[in-house]
Structure 1
Amino acid sequence: MKNHHLRALLKVAEEGSIRGAARALHLSQSALTRALRELEADLGSELLIRSYRGVEFTPSGKVLLKRARLAFSTLDKARDEIRWLRGGSGLQVTVAVTTAIATTSLPAVLREFEREQPDASLSLEEGMMSTVLPGLMEGRIDFAIAVAEADQLPHEITFEPLTELLSEPMAREGHALLGATDWSQMAEARWVLNLAVGSSAQRLIDWLEAQDISISQRVVKCDSPIMMVELMRRTDLIGFGPRFFVDDPLSGRGLACFDTLATFPAYTIGLLKLRGVPLHPGAERLATLFRRHISSLNLSRRPSSQ
């Protein structure tokens, strides 16, 4: 198994076809096909299924693809560590951040990190578990600050709890159901929710169904936070998200929470990273800043006036 074999495999996955991969690598299709066949012969297993629709990866191919991505990402992190030793120029850090932290701690973290590392390149992604887990497993993300349950994570991922987060249903000011005192009164409402695997909204539905309250048939599914907020402001759709979002005078304009309902169990926000793979110094410094700023937050309670 040689370096050019793995690069060929990765490029096929990236381009979706052998023809596209050969073009991107400036190789003939026959040369690329030969490299892939050599790789399959070395492993004794078929990695790709070729058809008129392109290529698909076999189970063996998917395993190798995941590990190859991680291997090359680890080498990239070694380069980042060397850049850090040289003063930070060219340093790259990629982190996924949940919306709750993006609107509270992130601005201060960014200011401090940019002051310390003005030449570093920082990439931010949405901290949804559906993208966080593959991103961490493939080495594309250095670490994530996200909502998670430690006992539901794969063994390869470590979880460091940082704070608790209260999420609640929210709607436009003046909504007819804002005075509801029991969750059963919410069963006939129309909702707008992100139902991605591991999302807070999916946990809400599971929690309600455990109490024989079903809302899953009355949900407009939406994966855009901005679109959900605007639909809550401008229609009778009810959303679900961090309590502080409504209490904040900027983000919460025109929105209200259901203060007479019993509170939903708080979530845990924590730092997720790949087990056994140390963060390079730049990513570790950014993680330290997140830990410090998040430790001062109180996101798990309703305001005392409620």
Structure 2
Amino acid sequence: MKMHQLRALAEIVKAGSIQRAARAMNLSQPALSKSVRELERQLGVPLLVRGATGATLTPFGAILSKRYEVMQKELDKAREEIDWLKGTLGGRLLVGMSPPAAGAGMASVFASFRQRQPSVELELLELRPAQIFDAVRSGVIDLGIVHHYGATDVAGLQCVTLKSYQTVLAIGGHDPALPQCIEQLWDREWITSDLADHADGYISVLASRLGIDPPSRLFRCTSIAVYFELAEQPQLVSHWADNISPYLDMKFASGALTRLNLGIDLPAMDITLVYKDDELLSPGGALLTKIIRSAFDL
């Protein structure tokens, strides 16, 4: 199996046909077809379905194409590391963050990194936790900083808990008939930033801890700005992490939110650094990881 054969397969998929891929690569169509057929013979399986309208991947070809993309990303990173050592290029560093993680003092971390490595092209992307795990695993992004509740055990990834925050429950407005027990609390409508398929979301972890099903009325809102506004709606139950204590104290004092104290053991919100492996980090990724660990006394 050779890289030029894998590239031929990838170019055919990208172009949609062998003919168009051959033109894009400045090769003859027979030469390109030969590369793919040699690869198919080596593996003993068909990789392409060839038709009058073009060529598509078989399930075998899809697996190979996916792995080739990962290999290509790793090769690109290797080139960046070599250029870094040569001093000819700063490189590029992609970091995924889930919104609540931004409140953990990450701005000063990134400012410190940019001051020490101004030539590195640093990009911060706002993503959901599940998206960050997938993107780090596939090599699309270098590092992830995610929020989660409960234990996190993600196969194939390094997960370093940076900080934990206690959480609180609140209800919108001033309600003289505050819930006095779990049943009354569960009868209310809740607002959450968790998606329905987020098994490690706040509501799921809390319900599991209490040994009951999640509330039947859930208002899901992934926009943090909108969540902050909607949470003030009367009788709507919301959950918060105390990394925004000044904001919550102001809202509690004004009556926009009312804190709920039912003696429930609430899940903590953990902020976690996620990456593939220390050996696979680029020089920029290794430096940023070091700065992050130092900022959190790790």
The normalised TM-score by structure 2 is 0.76
In structure 2, the residue matched to 1:169 is 169
In structure 2, the residue matched to 1:157 is 157
In structure 2, the residue matched to 1:240 is 239
- Cα offset, 1:62, TM superposition: 4.4
SS state at 2:210 partner? coil
In structure 2, the residue matched to 1:217 is 216
In structure 1, the residue matched to 2:82 is 82
- Cα offset, 1:150, TM superposition: 6.1
Structure showing greater radius of gyration is: 2
- Cα offset, 1:266, TM superposition: 1.8
Pick closer, same or farther for the CA change 1:288–1:230 going to 2, 3 Å.
same
CA distance in 1, matches of 2:20, 2:236: 49
- Cα offset, 1:286, TM superposition: 0.9
RMSD, aligned CA: 3.9
CA distance in 2, matches of 1:53, 1:248: 60
- Counterpart contact for 1:105–1:294, Cα < 8 Å: no
SS state at 1:45 partner? coil
Pick closer, same or farther for the CA change 1:276–1:24 going to 2, 3 Å.
farther
Identical-residue share of aligned pairs (%): 25
- Counterpart contact for 2:145–2:274, Cα < 8 Å: yes
CA distance in 2, matches of 1:19, 1:227: 46
**Is residue 231 of structure 1 aligned with residue 266 of structure 2?**
no
CA distance in 2, matches of 1:124, 1:21: 39
CA distance in 2, matches of 1:257, 1:57: 57
In structure 1, the residue matched to 2:247 is 249
In structure 2, the residue matched to 1:301 is none
The normalised TM-score by structure 1 is 0.75
- Counterpart contact for 2:18–2:54, Cα < 8 Å: no
CA distance in 2, matches of 1:256, 1:88: 54
More off after superposition, 177-186 vs 189-198: 177-186
In structure 1, the residue matched to 2:207 is 208
More off after superposition, 20-29 vs 93-102: 20-29
Pick closer, same or farther for the CA change 1:192–1:249 going to 2, 3 Å.
closer
Gaps of 5+ in 1: 297-306
In structure 2, the residue matched to 1:260 is 261
- Counterpart contact for 1:81–1:280, Cα < 8 Å: yes
- Cα offset, 1:277, TM superposition: 3.8
Instruction: Provide Cα deviations, 1:207-244, integer angstroms capped at 9, x if missing partner.
Output: 31553543453123333333333332456543334232
In structure 2, the residue matched to 1:39 is 39
In structure 1, the residue matched to 2:123 is 123
In structure 2, the residue matched to 1:304 is none
Q: Structure 2 residue aligned with 1:291, among 283, 290, 293?
A: 293
- Counterpart contact for 1:19–1:29, Cα < 8 Å: no
